[in-house]
Amino acid sequence: MNNSYRIALAGNPNTGKSTLFNAFTGLRQHTGNWAGKTVSLAEGTVRHKEKNYQIVDLPGTYSLFSNSVDEEVARNYIVFEKPDITLVVLDATSLERNLNLALQVLEMTKNVIVCINLIDEAEKKGIKINERILTRKLGVPVIKISARNKIGFPMLLDTIDRLVSGKIECNPVQTTYNEEIEEKITTIESKISNLVGNTISSRWLALRLLDGDKALLTEFNRRLVLNDQVRREA
Amino acid sequence: MNMNELFSEAQAISSPQLRDDIVQQLYSRSRELCDVGVSYTKTKADTRTEKLDAIFTSKIWGFPIMLIMLGVVFYLTIAGANIPSSMLAEFFGWLEGYITSVFQFLHAPDWLHGILVLGLYRGSTWVISVMLPPMAIFFPTFALLENYGYLPRVAFNMDRLFKFVGAHGKQSLTMAMGFGCNAAAVMSSRIIESPRERMLAILTNNFVPCNGRWGILIVLASLFMAANFTGGFKLLVTTGVIVGIVLFGIVVTFFVSWALSKTLLKGVPTHYTLELPPYRRPKFFDTVIRSSLTKSWTVLVRAVKVAAPAAILTWVLANIHIGDTSILLHMVEFLDPFGKMLGLDGYIMLAFILGLPANEIVLPILLMGYLSTGSLTEVDSLVDLKQIFLDHGWTWVTALNVMLFSLLHYPCGTTLVNIYKETKSKKWTFLAFLIPTVLAIVVPFIVYQTAKLLGWV
């Protein structure tokens, strides 16, 4: 019986991931109004429509380029632990800066839901967000919520449910870069996919290798060794 | 072909400005998305946050406001904790009478009553009555400030000072975490990108007192430092002393960061962006309940978990005799000459050594040691407590030096384990032990010798 799923919460620091996590799980993860409060993974569970969801609260980061340990922790979880859904939590009051991270996540994994949090605060400030347009442009569901006041939760849970049961599908729209970069991606992408198959997005990996992400390389090799060990022992 | 070869191949065709191009493209796509998906109905921006920031982070008012906030939090903690603390102590004392009767009724052997009641029960209830009330006030007050958004402003104010000593501005955030728990704060140093500055934050975090040390600091400050004052004024003096101790810890943090960044951890502080979030009115009820119940509870459970075995161990050490003195006394006598040099004594040194697993148990162990029976007497009031100290030759300098030793000494066991986990280096973990220990010996030594020279003691 497979009705248990894992959901990772990603997003910029201080966008309310931990508040959403608490609201979901009823757990009392410490929350605070400052960037960098969550540095390790917190886990909890929620049940909805006969399905169990394990929620993982990732550290908040501005990017996923492995600049610091918490970025690596978040990146490794999304790429290597492969949650069934990655919820990207964005701050509605500074969407432009926040979307940047969402775009990076869309390159890394397929099943993504974009949660625009603090929507009540944004509306007070006169910010109107058209989530339909964003959904179409991003190729993944975009949902407006307020984790603090539990606005938009039924919609969010429903979308999660429909995504894991295959009623809707995500087709994340990839960011296209300039010709020069695209050419380089094409040069090595096929070799990468020969090596990793479809376990990791080869386009994303190509970009990371071009960027010279040593930390990712180390992590990749470490996991390869671990996998070999497991295989040998089996 | 393996991943390493692919990496080299990718590097061969890559260019230095590739990262910039990628980031730029991500940003321009974000802007395009916002252009089509977001509209603004109000043209006037909300300026409340800016106005508040002009005060909270102002060059003139920033630091005084910080000091006042710190003072207010401690004042509330000390003033509010007094009465519930003594009520809890009375309650546990009353309950102990009944527990003892049960033991007598069952004809339980004396040693069993000794271990379970005089050791375990008294040790753990003492920790509860001294620690629970201050925590139940300190955590929610601190959490309210945190959820309001004040902490990043503190970081902003302190940034220049940290830059000046060669450290990272975000170190003030990990420092603030340290007020709760150094072990957690060591983990929170992950928010600092540069390994060098992260190491500075880890090595110096111990100089802010964690909740396990509040108990001993508050008790000693109110017993000895404010002894000649009464009423509201006494509270103010106690608060002043605590704030002074905290400030001294911060000064030491700066000094050690500076010394390290000139020697072992040379380097220039990196630039970073610090986000100043909008001020948000905290969900008052949620915050208070969450932090006072949940957080105090977890900390308390941890304290009792360590206090219980420590109390039993102390009782056993004090009641098993080699020759005609107990093991405890042998150890005390061994440590006494060294302690005396620092204006302390063998009991105090032993309490800090046995207190390595958790700072919470230093004071209970010390009291158990002082009482010849080796078990904690019922300490119904702080006056009883002070008498015990005075009987063992304490002066205000002893109290001050115990506070300084507690502030500066090596991190607790959990923190050391976390430091090892985060640095993955025995050398740095050892340094994290060594630096505070040396300071905790040198500073009280200087204080005591000066006081002696000036004829104060």
Which DSSP string corresponds to B119-143?
IIIHHHHHHHHHHHHHHHHHHHHHH
Judged by CB atoms closer than 8 Å, whether chains meet at A212 and B14 is answered as yes
Q: Tally Cβ neighbours within 10 Å of residue B272.
A: 16
| Contact list, B30 vs chain A (CB under 8 Å) | 96-97, 99-100, 103
Tens digits of residue pLDDT in B20-42: 888 889 889 999 998 888 888 77
Structural domain for B80, as ranges: 59-453
Task: Check residue B45 and give its pLDDT.
Answer: 60
Q: Which residue segments constitute the domains of chain A, with CATH numbers given?
A: 4-164 (3.40.50.300), 179-233 (no CATH)
* pLDDT, position B266: 83
pLDDT of residue A145: 94
B149 pLDDT higher than 90: no
pTM, to two decimals: 0.74
User: Does B21 fall in a domain?
Assistant: no
- Give the gap in angstroms from C-alpha B410 to the nearest C-alpha of chain A: 24
B267 domain residue, yes or no:
yes
Do B9 and A191 count as a contact with CB atoms less than 8 A apart? yes
Nearest to B199, CA basis, from B260, B115, B127: B260
B210 is a domain residue: yes
A vs B, Cβ pairs < 8 A, gives 172
The verdict on residue B316 lying in a domain is yes
In this predicted model, what pLDDT tens digit does every residue of B296-333 receive, in sequence order? Answer: 777 778 777 777 788 788 888 888 888 888 888 899 99
pLDDT for the residue B176: 84
Chain A interface includes B52 (CB < 8 A):
no
Distance from CA of A157 to the nearest CA of B (A): 23
CB atoms near residue B281 (< 10 Å): 9
All residues of chain A having their beta carbon less than 8 Å from the beta carbon of residue B29 are: 99, 103, 175
Cβ within 8 Å of A, B 180-219: 187-188, 190-193, 198
Query: Which pLDDT value is given to residue A38?
Result: 61
Q: What is the pLDDT of residue B247?
A: 93
More confident residue, A233 or B110: B110
Instruction: Kindly report the nearest CA distance between residue A184 and chain B, in angstroms.
Output: 7
Residue of B1, B33, B147 to mutate when probing chain A, most A C-beta within 10 A: B33
C-alpha pair distances (Å), B26 with each of A35, A220, B32: 22, 25, 10
Q: Given this model, what pLDDT does residue A29 score?
A: 62
Whether the pLDDT of residue B151 is over 50: the answer is: yes
Instruction: Establish if B24 belongs to a structural domain.
Output: no
Number of domains in chain B: 1
Verify whether the Cβ–Cβ distance B37 to A137 is below 8 Å: yes
> Is the predicted pLDDT of residue B231 greater than 80, yes or no?
no
Going from the C-alpha of A48 to that of each of A3, A18, A159, B304, the distances in angstroms are: 10, 19, 11, 37
How many helices (H) and strands (E) are present in chain B, helices listed first?
21, 3
pLDDT at A35: 54
Residue A9, helix vs strand vs coil:
strand
Query: A28, B192: Cβ pair inside 8 Å?
Result: no
Q: For position B446, what pLDDT does the model report?
A: 95
Average pLDDT on B191-216 reads: 88
Cβ contacts of B187 on chain A, cutoff 8 Å: 39-40
Q: Which residues contact B439 (CB under 8 A, 6 or more apart)?
A: B252, B256, B408
| Any B CB within 8 A of A225 CB | no
Segments of chain A with pLDDT less than 50: 1
**Subunit contact A93:B278, Cβ cutoff 8 A:** yes
Quick check: ipTM above 0.90?
A: no
Please name the residue ranges forming H helices in A165-213.
179-196, 202-211
Q: Would you state the pLDDT for residue A1?
A: 47
Question: Which residue is it, tokens 């500074």?
Answer: A94
Give the bridge partners for A90, in sequence order: A116
Per-residue pLDDT averaged across B426-436, rounded?
95
Detail the DSSP E strand segments found in B321-382: 321-322, 325-326
Flag whether B51 is in a domain.
no
Our measurement of the distance from residue B25's CA atom to the centroid of its chain's CA atoms, rounded to an integer in Å, reads 45
Band the pLDDT of B381: cuts 50, 70, 90. Answer: low
DSSP secondary structure letter of residue A6? E
Residues 6+ apart with CB under 8 A from B427: none
pLDDT for the residue B373? 53
Distance CA B363, CA A91 (A): 46
Say if B419 falls within a structural domain.
yes
Please indicate, yes or no, if residue B54 is contained in any of the structural domains.
no
Q: What is the pLDDT of residue B382?
A: 61
Of B13, B143, B291, the CB nearest to A184: B13
